[in-house]
Amino acid sequence: MQPVQAMNPVNSSTLLRVFSHILLPVFVMLATSNCSTSPTKVKATAKPVVAEQQAGNGVDWHPLPNEQANTYLLECKAAYDSAKQQLSQLESAKEFAENLVKADPKPLLHAINQLDITLDTANGKSGLYFNVHPTAEVRQAAELCQTNLTKLLTDYSLSFLLYTRLAAVDTEHLDAVDKRFVVKMLQSFKRGGVALPAAEQKKIRELSDAITQLGMAFSNNMKNDSHKVVVKDKQILAGLPADFIAKLKPNDRGEYELSTDYPIYFPIMQYAKNDQLRKDMYIAFRQRGYPANDQVLKDLLSRRYELAKLLGYENYAQFATDDMMIKTPENAQFFIDKIDQAAKPRANRDYQELLTRLRKIDPKATRVDDWQKTYLDDLVKKDNYQVDSQKVREYFSYGNVEKGIFDLTEHQFGVQIKPWVTDVWHPSVKAFEIWDKGKIIGRFYLDMHPREGKYGHAAKFSVHAGITGVQLPVAALICNFPGANNPAALMQHDEVETYLHEFGHLLHHIFGGQQRWVAQSGTATETDFVEAPSQMLEEWVWDADTLKTFARNAKGEVIPDALIKKLRKSRNFGKGLWTRHQMFYANMALDFYNRDPANIDLTGLMKESQAKYSPFPYVDKTYFYTSFGHLDGYSALYYSYMWSLVIAADMFSEFERDGLRNPNTAQHYREAVLAPGGSKAAADLVSDFLGRPYNFDAFARQLNRH
């Protein structure tokens, strides 16, 4: 199994983390749209984009050498100016104070919500374009837009005048949804340092600006650093699928230049017989962003530590966990160790099976290395479980997978997915609408195939929040699957699982996007819960009834029951190893953020975590952390993937009991867990669905299932 990827693109702006009431949730890219919910087209004017220097702010709108980029920058500046004016009115307008005296907080709350909508829209488009726009200058403009918006968000989070007005609201007369909105926003103000002296607030602004720039640099270094491994002899590619090799084009010297992009890297790690090729690819993959991101990450850790200390926390991990379900870094560490201990027995058995299989290739082998595990895992499943992953992939063409996921959604939730005719940012992008009972409830984009300069993982981007009576929720799914020019291109089964996982986030965004307040719309729950709905949805790619609705080979033959049975039986092999390796990532992230990072040795700390939690030894000259985007966006919270998985397993037990394709259970799940968005605490959402608090039992059963 591969490392879990982010459900949402990691947000480089710590200010959004600080002032989380408009975060949707903590690490969701706030994305955008105009009222028509399509990428905005603004006519260029003769007026140039000029630099704007404001006292203590340093906002910069310098022109770029591209008309399209400058047109977009003007659009962003207009949104910035509008939001700035709205914030000024919130701080100064007398009617809000007069209404509060009359115990009528609604005008104030709605004005705050309108400001949140403006910022959500503008910040979201910049986040989306920064990661996916095909024009480099537009991506540069989006980066400049994000930087300027972060400065305004800092002003917002440090507005003592607005804070005092909100603090004067009598929450006793509000309903539960409005009360949660006010209480959570006040908490965000306090966590952001609104009550600190002016000098310390000035420092917060400086740190927020620096952290934004460092996060963007970290992301850019990852996106723009795709290493290549040169193969001079085609025989070295032995073991790879014929259709994969056919797509590779030799250069003028007859060499094959293999990039570390996902559609190239993962098949090589799974199928290539040549051990040295896999090792070379592994090292190249884990050198992305190095050495630049080594220093960038050190600076990011230092600025975040300084910010946390300024806000009254011992370290950034304490700040990051403070408003999560888990509450403290100590609880996170306890959880990591508990999961690791629970997985050890199974991991040891898994490892021995890999080693036994390796000795059939190399009788002198004494250990399994990290670059060998995926290849050996595939061989063990073929030998011991009669699952040939190359045969399995014959049933998963990209076009059929997409249709299958749409059909599953329509069956489970009683909705219809229809094409949406709208502007897109690249010809390969497709757009759709979701209808429910004759009414549109949301829209989404699919940007599913790799290209130069594009975000390299799999993620759901929030295009903008859904607000009842104001705007529909819109999201974009950004992935890197085969099939850009050929819907018959074949996918791995785990890619199908990733597709459904990310689509689950998209559904959460839309079903939960019927809210009063931006701060509660869509996936605006605690970060250590937000993965659970999508992790649970992964179960359907193992369900025979579901697979047989779309898994067909080129001859149109449905995937056989016998193959599904073998696939399901092989599923649990390697789960212990995968779980422990995930705890290596979680512990590394926590260790990077739970201390003073002065003189920090990132490689040394990574090695310590790997030695403690992973059965696979460190590989020399690899620097995994320089391309581990979660260290920017999720910071110390990578444990949250496994925490969410525990909850996902518990929720799935309801479907196991009632039937995976039972629409009644799916509707109950939609209404109890997805539809409320962030209007309730995550623990309450789960309790509403299960009829009891969540527990560890279902996860433990899954971990030990044979």
The 3-state secondary structure of 503-562, one letter per residue = HHHHHHHHHCCCECCHHHCCCCCCHHHHCHHHHHHHHHHHCHHHHCCCCECCCCCECCHH
Contact predicate 148/60, CB 8 Å: yes
Decide if 545 is inside a domain. Answer: no
Sign of torsion over alpha carbons 56, 57, 63, 65: positive
Q: 276: exposed, middle or buried (C-beta count within 10 Å: 0-12, 13-18, 19+)?
A: exposed
Decide if 333 is inside a domain. Answer: no
223: which residues sit within 8 A by CB, 6+ positions away? Answer: 131, 453, 454, 455, 456
Q: Which two tokens stand for residue 32?
A: 């955008």
If asked whether residues 202 and 98 sit together in one domain, one would say: yes
Q: Which two tokens stand for residue 65?
A: 């050498």
Decide if 147 is inside a domain. Answer: yes
If asked whether residues 229 and 261 sit together in one domain, one would say: yes
If asked whether residues 100 and 235 sit together in one domain, one would say: no
The number of residues making up the chain comes to 706
514/175 Cα distance (integer angstroms): 17
Angle (deg, nearest 10), helices 640-658 and 329-361: 80
28/7 Cα distance (integer angstroms): 9
Element containing residue 230 per DSSP (H, E): strand 228-231
Decide if 157 is inside a domain. Answer: yes
Contact predicate 239/231, CB 8 Å: no
pLDDT score, position 101 = 63
Domain stop point among 244, 260, 285? 285
pLDDT score, position 104 = 84
The ranges of the chain with pLDDT < 70 are 1-57, 101-102, 706
Element containing residue 461 per DSSP (H, E): strand 459-464
Contact predicate 473/674, CB 8 Å: no
Domain that holds residue 274: 225-285
Q: 137: exposed, middle or buried (C-beta count within 10 Å: 0-12, 13-18, 19+)?
A: middle
Decide if 74 is inside a domain. Answer: yes
Sign of torsion over alpha carbons 191, 196, 198, 202: negative
Decide if 459 is inside a domain. Answer: no
Domain stop point among 196, 219, 242? 219
Decide if 366 is inside a domain. Answer: no
The whole-model pTM stands at: 0.88
Contact predicate 522/367, CB 8 Å: no
Kindly report the backbone phi and psi dihedral angles of residue 286, in degrees, each rounded to the nearest multiple of 5, phi listed first. Answer: -95, 15
Q: Is the peptide bond before 25 cis (omega within 30 degrees of 0)?
A: yes
Domain stop point among 285, 312, 334? 285
Number of domains within the chain = 2
pLDDT score, position 93 = 79
452/99 Cα distance (integer angstroms): 53
Q: 98: exposed, middle or buried (C-beta count within 10 Å: 0-12, 13-18, 19+)?
A: exposed
If asked whether residues 118 and 250 sit together in one domain, one would say: no
pLDDT score, position 255 = 95
If asked whether residues 56 and 203 sit together in one domain, one would say: yes
If asked whether residues 157 and 209 sit together in one domain, one would say: yes
If asked whether residues 230 and 215 sit together in one domain, one would say: no
Question: What's the Cα-to-Cα distance from 444 to each of 149, 213, 509, rounded to whole Å?
Answer: 24, 29, 10
Cα–Cα nearest to 80, from 109, 42, 118: 118
Count helices and strands (H / E) in the chain.
29, 7
Amino acid at site 542: W
Element containing residue 116 per DSSP (H, E): helix 106-132
pLDDT digits (tens, 9 = 90+) for 250-279: 999 999 999 998 889 999 999 999 999 999
If asked whether residues 109 and 194 sit together in one domain, one would say: yes
Share of the chain residues as helix, strand and coil, in percent rounded to the nearest 5: 60, 5, 35
Decide if 255 is inside a domain. Answer: yes
If asked whether residues 147 and 266 sit together in one domain, one would say: no
458: which residues sit within 8 A by CB, 6+ positions away? Answer: 5, 6, 478, 479, 480, 498, 499, 501, 502
Q: Which residue has the tokens 């040394």?
A: 604
If asked whether residues 176 and 279 sit together in one domain, one would say: no
If asked whether residues 138 and 184 sit together in one domain, one would say: yes
**Over the Cα atoms of the chain, what is R_g?**
25
- Residue 45: CB atoms within 10 Å: 9
Q: What is the DSSP string of 274-335?
A: -HHHHHHHHHHHTTTTTTHHHHHHHHHHHHHHHHHHHTT-SSHHHHHHTTSSS-SHHHHHHH
pLDDT digits (tens, 9 = 90+) for 50-83: 323 333 457 889 999 999 999 999 999 999 999 9
If asked whether residues 176 and 145 sit together in one domain, one would say: yes
